[in-house]
A and B are shown apart, each in its own frame.
Chain A
Amino acid sequence: MIVTQTEENLEEVQTLLAQLAIAYTRPEENRIDVILPPAKLVEAARIMEDTGFWYLSAITGVDHSSSADTTNEEKAWQRVVEGEEQTGFGYSGVLEALYHFCKGSVVATLRVRMGHANPNLPSICGVVPSASLYERELMEMFGISIEDTPVKDHLLLPDDWPVGVYPLRKDFKGFGQPEVEGGANA
């Protein structure tokens, strides 16, 4: 029997994660977003696991810079670290990883933020084994380094993909047509 106790579940997450979170928001009626420092991520994941949010639906990476303002990124990151900008979205110079845990209709998202320069995350594979694929995707698509994840090979990109090029970052503009076609004729 599937029960949807949206409100109760949301309350539960909120109270349990209260001491770890920097802040939280309730963007939609079935969602809660909890902003965490990267160091607290694993702990938070374990709490989610224990409360029945064992279903990790996906991990989304987001690059918040628009491609124009990457110059300011360190400054912006500074503001985040200093707590000036802790909620909301749409500020620049920040990479963010979103861990979507689901239970019934509720989506609880753990959000951790990093600067562009040296993004680092702990792996949650110890808690949620199925995170492995998504963490690999984060690594190759956004260049976030996850030191203790079990497998670090490429997942989607070819093996001869250039090092240091991360296609889903905003500053990646593609290789342009000639390169791809030239490669094809080789």
Chain B
Amino acid sequence: MPETKHGDKFIVPIGPQHPALKEPGHFEFTVDGETVTGASVRLGFVHRGIEKAAEERTYIQDLYLLERICGICSHVHAMAFALGVEKLAGVTVPERAQAIRVLVAEMERIHSHLLWLGVAAHEAGFDTLFMYAWRDREKVMDLLEQLCGNRVNYSINVLGGVKEDVNDVIRDGILSAMDYLETRTVLYLKLVTTERTLIGRTRGIGIMEKQTAARLGTVGPTARASGLERDIRLEAPYAAYLQYPARIVTEQTGDLEARFIVRVKELYESFRLIRGILSTLPGGELTTKMPRRIPEGETISRVEAPRGELFYYIKSNGSDKPDRVKVRTPSINNFASVMATAVGHKLADIPMILSGIDPCFSCNDRMVSIRGSEGQQAVDWEELRLYGIEYYR
């Protein structure tokens, strides 16, 4: 890392992390005395060069390549890409296929939120909640496996529709699992709003005002926890969300607790949508014919991933390979918001802000090393936090 130092300005790097669950990142904060004057992030520990590879492969191959940008919200990636390409090709996808896409998307949201709840609990050292959340998540995973043929990277999309259909057995299975999960969600909501040891680590932490959240382009539950009504499912309905409208869940406080609550409450919303879809699933075909060469043009495809708006830009040149595919994942928007909220804060606040935005951050290496004039000085997360307490005393 380049070490820069002007006067009493230090660079404070955080990360790259201990190898564990999600994307590793690396953050650097420039501090002037006490105040953070700049922040930067370094990603790319999992950068594989997918966007370039997408230009070199056919649309069909890209569908699976892009699905593998991320195993947690793989379906929305494939769906966003498929919707975009279908738009470019001028193909109308059968209603039943669109409904099944939405069904899988909502099931994916449930799995993703439960996964997040578990990981966040694990981060807070609450292993029992982690175990319970993941145990209940297995219900959804089983159903996805039954419906799509795989637990992760479902690959249910093809260009022009979906591969698999919902039959009666699967429908009944999903409905009864939804009932079970609903009773469990009651417990989770109770836990995140009343369990004292948990609240001790979430309430009032990492507050982001609505205005800030809006200006920084925060997306997804992080934005909604700050009271921002941003949800692509409503703003620009795609696939079958016009027929099955979602309802927005927001909280006003904008702290970590609010983010817990929003995510848990969104589970209810997903249960409702899934029940709606299954009770009035339109009939008809699953796929429609797709050309292999996509007419020249460009399009933008936006979908609401579990973590917020996912943005695809696809440009075709008339051949069977795209000319450019730009993927903007929700996480990067939320990174931007941390980077910017950090500026102007005291150094002592940084750990709070980082952990407050998204659990992915908090599992990035908690190590901070301050590069001062007397060589390197190691400061850990905890010391920094204690230092913060001291500072505010």
A158 interface residue (CB < 8 Å to B) = yes
Q: Establish whether residues A130 and B324, one from each chain, have CB atoms under 8 Å apart when the complex forms.
A: no
Given A2-B231, A60-B324, A130-B336, are A168 and B311 neighbors across the interface (CB < 8 Å)?
Answer: no
Q: Establish whether residues B300 and A133, one from each chain, have CB atoms under 8 Å apart when the complex forms.
A: no
Given A4-B235, A89-B298, are A57 and B42 neighbors across the interface (CB < 8 Å)?
Answer: no
B236 interface residue (CB < 8 Å to A) = yes
Q: Establish whether residues B328 and A57, one from each chain, have CB atoms under 8 Å apart when the complex forms.
A: yes
Residues of A within 8 Å of B248, CB to CB, are 2
Residues of A within 8 Å of B296, CB to CB, are 90
Given A57-B311, A129-B336, are A1 and B324 neighbors across the interface (CB < 8 Å)?
Answer: no
Residues of A within 8 Å of B313, CB to CB, are 58, 60, 98, 100
Determine, out of B44-52, B130-138, B376-384, the stretch whose residues face the partner at the interface. B44-52
CB nearest to A103 among chain B residues: B235
B43 interface residue (CB < 8 Å to A) = yes
- Bits for B205-217, please: 1 = Cβ < 8 Å to A, else 0: 0000000001111
Q: How far apart are B182's CB and chain A's nearest CB, in angstroms?
A: 26
Q: Establish whether residues A57 and B315, one from each chain, have CB atoms under 8 Å apart when the complex forms.
A: no
Q: How far apart are B366's CB and chain A's nearest CB, in angstroms?
A: 22
Interface size class of A (residues with CB under 8 A): 35 or more
Residues of A within 8 Å of B298, CB to CB, are 27, 89
Q: Establish whether residues A129 and B216, one from each chain, have CB atoms under 8 Å apart when the complex forms.
A: yes
B258 interface residue (CB < 8 Å to A) = no
A28 and B298 CA atoms in complex are apart in Å by 10
Q: Establish whether residues A60 and B326, one from each chain, have CB atoms under 8 Å apart when the complex forms.
A: yes
Please pick, from B44, B217, B236, B300, the residue contacting A56 in the complex, using a CB distance under 8 A. B217
B337 interface residue (CB < 8 Å to A) = yes
Residues of A within 8 Å of B236, CB to CB, are 4, 30, 104-105
A155 interface residue (CB < 8 Å to B) = yes
Q: How far apart are A48's CB and chain B's nearest CB, in angstroms?
A: 12
- Tell me the chain B residues, 287-343 only, with Cβ under 8 Å from chain A: 296-300, 302, 309, 311, 313, 315, 317, 323-324, 326, 328, 332-333, 335-337, 339-340
Interface size class of B (residues with CB under 8 A): 35 or more
Q: How far apart are B29's CB and chain A's nearest CB, in angstroms?
A: 11
Q: How far apart are B30's CB and chain A's nearest CB, in angstroms?
A: 9
Q: Establish whether residues A157 and B215, one from each chain, have CB atoms under 8 Å apart when the complex forms.
A: no
Given A31-B300, A154-B44, are A133 and B326 neighbors across the interface (CB < 8 Å)?
Answer: no
Q: Establish whether residues B52 and A168, one from each chain, have CB atoms under 8 Å apart when the complex forms.
A: yes
Please pick, from B229, B299, B317, the residue contacting A66 in the complex, using a CB distance under 8 A. B317
Q: Among the interface residues A4, A63, A109, A153, which one has the most CB atoms of the partner chain B within 10 A?
A: A153
Given A130-B337, A133-B336, A154-B42, are A55 and B217 neighbors across the interface (CB < 8 Å)?
Answer: yes
Q: Establish whether residues A62 and B217, one from each chain, have CB atoms under 8 Å apart when the complex forms.
A: no
Q: How far apart are B390's CB and chain A's nearest CB, in angstroms?
A: 30
Residues of B within 8 Å of A129, CB to CB, are 215-216, 336, 339-340
A61 and B315 CA atoms in complex are apart in Å by 11
B189 interface residue (CB < 8 Å to A) = no
Q: How far apart are B92's CB and chain A's nearest CB, in angstroms?
A: 15
Please pick, from B47, B235, B297, B332, the residue contacting A133 in the complex, using a CB distance under 8 A. B332
- Bits for A127-158, please: 1 = Cβ < 8 Å to B, else 0: 01110111000000100000000110111111
Q: Establish whether residues A156 and B40, one from each chain, have CB atoms under 8 Å apart when the complex forms.
A: no
CB nearest to A105 among chain B residues: B236
Q: How far apart are A109's CB and chain B's nearest CB, in angstroms?
A: 8
- Bits for B97-141, please: 1 = Cβ < 8 Å to A, else 0: 000000000000000000000000000000000000000000000
Q: Establish whether residues B235 and A89, one from each chain, have CB atoms under 8 Å apart when the complex forms.
A: no
Q: How far apart are B36's CB and chain A's nearest CB, in angstroms?
A: 13
Residues of A within 8 Å of B340, CB to CB, are 129-130, 132
Residues of B within 8 Å of A126, CB to CB, are none
B2 interface residue (CB < 8 Å to A) = yes
Residues of B within 8 Å of A62, CB to CB, are 315, 323-324
Residues of B within 8 Å of A132, CB to CB, are 40, 336, 339-340
CB nearest to A104 among chain B residues: B235
A60 and B37 CA atoms in complex are apart in Å by 27
Q: Establish whether residues A58 and B52, one from each chain, have CB atoms under 8 Å apart when the complex forms.
A: no
Residues of A within 8 Å of B328, CB to CB, are 57-58, 134
B286 interface residue (CB < 8 Å to A) = no
Q: Among the interface residues B2, B313, B323, which one has the most CB atoms of the partner chain A within 10 A?
A: B313
Chain A residues with CB under 8 Å of chain B are: 1-2, 4, 27-28, 30-31, 54-58, 60-63, 66, 89-90, 98, 100, 102, 104-105, 107, 109, 128-130, 132-134, 141, 150-151, 153-159, 167-168, 172, 174
Ranked 8 nearest A-B pairs via Cβ:
A105-B236, A156-B44, A130-B336, A58-B328, A60-B326, A151-B40, A156-B47, A130-B217
* With A129-B336, A130-B340, A134-B328 already in contact, 4 other A-B pairs whose C-beta atoms are closer than 8 Å: A27-B298, A54-B214, A57-B309, A130-B216
23 interchain pairs, CB-CB under 8 A: A2-B234, A27-B297, A54-B217, A55-B217, A56-B217, A57-B302, A57-B309, A66-B317, A89-B298, A89-B315, A100-B313, A107-B300, A129-B336, A130-B216, A130-B217, A132-B40, A133-B332, A151-B40, A153-B28, A154-B42, A154-B44, A155-B43, A156-B44
